Chain A
Amino acid sequence: GAVVSQHPSRVICKSGTSVKIECRSLDFQATTMFWYRQFPKQSLMLMATSNEGSKATYEQGVEKDKFLINHASLTLSTLTVTSAHPEDSSFYICSAPERQGLWGYTFGSGTRLTVV
């Protein structure tokens, strides 16, 4: 089946630095990628939607300049957390609609970001 590979699985960074999270579709072309943020014991909150070759669409309240999303190819979407602060510490998950028009989604394995 369709697989989305997400890296890194966990990262610790210092305040003020930037961190890039990658999601690659391994055996299909992901024209759309959804980026979620999840706090402990809470639901997934959609942050933004990226589409290959165009600007990402951000949800209300999500800072575009802090969470930079790039979808430069049909197999790679990236989320860069810029000037990270401890409050950015969270679990980030990407997801792509399955191919073949099926109404389903493939999720990455998630990235646990800790900002110290």
Chain B
Amino acid sequence: AQTVTQSQPEMSVQEAETVTLSCTYDTSESDYYLFWYKQPPSRQMILVIRQEAYKQQNATENRFSVNFQKAAKSFSLKISDSQLGDAAMYFCAYTSQTSGSRLTFGEGTQLTVNP
């Protein structure tokens, strides 16, 4: 079974600084998708960024970028120029066709942004 691990329960960053959230996963498949979701205090799940495993190029979305290391099964999220609105719980997630499109989530990382 696929597993997703986020080893940082909590992280903090100063406003305008950069922070990296870690995620590792375990799978025997070669074709899969990885996601980072943000869950603010409202608890609405918001997609931050996604990466297709077959793409070597790291995905970027404005201030958010990933470092996808397929061989190492690592998928970290970098947030640049952190803003107060970035404070939230961040979840790394995995899915594949063979998993029936089911998402497997990591434990989450609570990010605090200090003014």
CA distance A110 to B42 in the complex (A): 9
A2-30 contacts to B, CB under 8 A, are: none
CA distance A38 to B75 in the complex (A): 23
| The stretch of B21-29, B79-87, B98-106 that contacts the partner chain | B98-106
Q: A58: CB under 8 A from chain B? A: no
Q: Is there contact, CB below 8 Å, between B108 and A42?
A: yes
Most chain B beta-carbon contacts within 10 A, residue among A43, A95, A109: A43
Residues of B within 8 A of A49 (CB): 100, 102
Residues of B within 8 A of A41 (CB): 89, 108, 110
Instruction: From known contacts A41-B110, A103-B33, A105-B103, infer whether A91 and B50 are also in contact, taking CB-CB under 8 Å.
Output: no
Instruction: From known contacts A97-B101, A107-B45, infer whether A43 and B107 are also in contact, taking CB-CB under 8 Å.
Output: yes
B2-16 contacts to A, CB under 8 A, are: none
Which of A32, A38, A104, A109 meets B50, CB within 8 Å?
Answer: A104
Residues of A within 8 A of B95 (CB): 103
Residues of A within 8 A of B33 (CB): 103
Closest A residue, CB atoms, query B32: A103
Q: A116: CB under 8 A from chain B? A: no
Closest A residue, CB atoms, query B4: A43
Q: Is there contact, CB below 8 Å, between A34 and B103?
A: yes
Instruction: From known contacts A43-B108, A93-B45, A110-B44, infer whether A103 and B52 are also in contact, taking CB-CB under 8 Å.
Output: yes
26 A-B residue contacts at CB 8 Å?
A: A32-B101, A34-B102, A34-B103, A38-B43, A41-B89, A41-B108, A41-B110, A42-B107, A43-B91, A43-B105, A43-B106, A43-B107, A43-B108, A44-B103, A44-B105, A46-B102, A49-B102, A95-B103, A97-B101, A103-B33, A103-B50, A103-B52, A107-B44, A109-B42, A109-B44, A110-B44
6 A-B pairs with the lowest CB-CB distances in the bound complex, closest first: A107-B45, A103-B33, A43-B105, A110-B43, A44-B105, A43-B107
